[in-house]
Amino acid sequence: MNIIRRKKGNKVYSYLKCSFRKKDKVITKEVYLGKSIPKNLRKIKEKLKMESKEDKYKTLEKIKDNFQREWRKLPKSIQEKEKEEIAIVFTYNTNSIEGSTITLEETKEIIHHQIAPNRPLSDIKETEAHVKVFLEMLDKREEITTELLLRWHKDIFHETKPDLAGKFRKYLVRVGSYIAPDWQEVKTLISKLIVFINSSKLNPVELSAIAHYRFEMIHPFGDGNGRVGRLLMNLILGYNSYPILIIEHRKRRAYYKALQGGEDKFVNYFLRTYLRVRKKLTK
């Protein structure tokens, strides 16, 4: 979305141009702004954004409806087994993104048979703890609060990082070239994020993307931000009856690149990824 100017005679006129994909076509829209940029430009942009996303929103709703229809067909015992398999795959990928050495097969062995591989004990402990937290998250569907985020962090890291577990950081952190907000702002920023999440009327898939991005930018913990942030995005999806999204370890570069590109770029990446992963449910 950008502003273009056209000259007619001695006068210059401004237009807001927006291109978006609708089904298999790229649609371009232009809105006349006038000779000068109007004060309500932000509202005009938001209206154009909503129009560009209408088709995606309908597809996302279809994904939710089809997912719930298929899920309800499964016997309760099969649902429980399926949740455990999802927990294993999600845990493997989210931990691997953060440097865990444990493979997918080893994750299955740890959870299904309590067999510990020849890997660092911390990786094994965090695998066990993460699966437990994830399954509890799916079953309890608790309200999103500061206390919930702190509890997740404590439950995952209390054995491996007891000095950090369940506590917001009290020091400056840098992620690459990005410097996170001052630690004294963390609690307030997290509170504002939670208010935003719990009061938002956005489509839940878009909301989960925004929530994840903003959480990572706040970077409230000394370690484990990615794992808690990905739990948060999936709680939002699950709470609203959408299937979860697993960010795959092998595609982490695209994920990191999107995070580094700003909120709009990350949301676009997230929506594209979600629609691609859940393509079967759009039919």
What pLDDT does 117 receive?
Answer: 94
149-179 as b/e, with b when 16 or more CB fall inside 10 Å? bbebbbbbbeebbeebbbbbbeeebeeeeee
Residue 42, domain extent: 1-46
What is the tally of structural domains in the chain? 2
Same domain (yes/no): 35, 73: no
Q: Which pLDDT score is estimated for 28?
A: 74
Q: Which amino acid is residue 135, in one-letter code?
A: L
- Which of 131, 99, 97, 103 is closest to 117 using CA atoms? 103
Beta-carbon-side half-sphere exposure of residue 242 (alpha carbons within 13 Å) = 26
pLDDT digits (tens, 9 = 90+) for 189-247: 999 999 999 999 999 999 999 999 999 999 999 999 999 999 999 999 999 999 999 99
Same domain, 1 and 37: yes
Whether residues 113 and 33 fall in one domain:
no
Question: What is the C-alpha R_g of the chain?
Answer: 21
Same domain as 78, residue 180: yes
Residue 171 pLDDT: 95
Distance of CA 221 to the CA centre of its chain: 17
User: Do both 42 and 63 map to the same domain?
Assistant: no
Tell me if 130 sits within 8 A of 192, measured CB to CB. no
pTM: 0.85
Specify whether 10 is located in the same domain as 135.
no
Is residue 253 located within the same domain as residue 271?
yes
| Residue 44: pLDDT over 80 | no
The answer, yes or no, to whether residue 23 has pLDDT greater than 60, is no
pLDDT at 24: 59
Beta bridge partners of 30: 17
pLDDT tens digits for range 148-186: 999 999 999 999 999 999 999 999 999 888 999 999 999
pLDDT at 49 > cutoff 80: no
Judge if 120 and 17 occupy the same domain: no
Q: What is the CATH number of the domain that holds 137?
A: 1.10.3290.10
Q: Tell me what the pLDDT averaged over the chain comes to.
A: 92
Same-domain pairing of 127 and 6: no
Q: Are residues 16 and 148 in the same domain?
A: no
Are 248 and 216 within one domain?
Answer: yes
Question: Coil, strand or helix: which one is 7?
Answer: strand
User: Looking at the structure, do residues 127 and 204 belong to the same domain, yes or no?
Assistant: yes
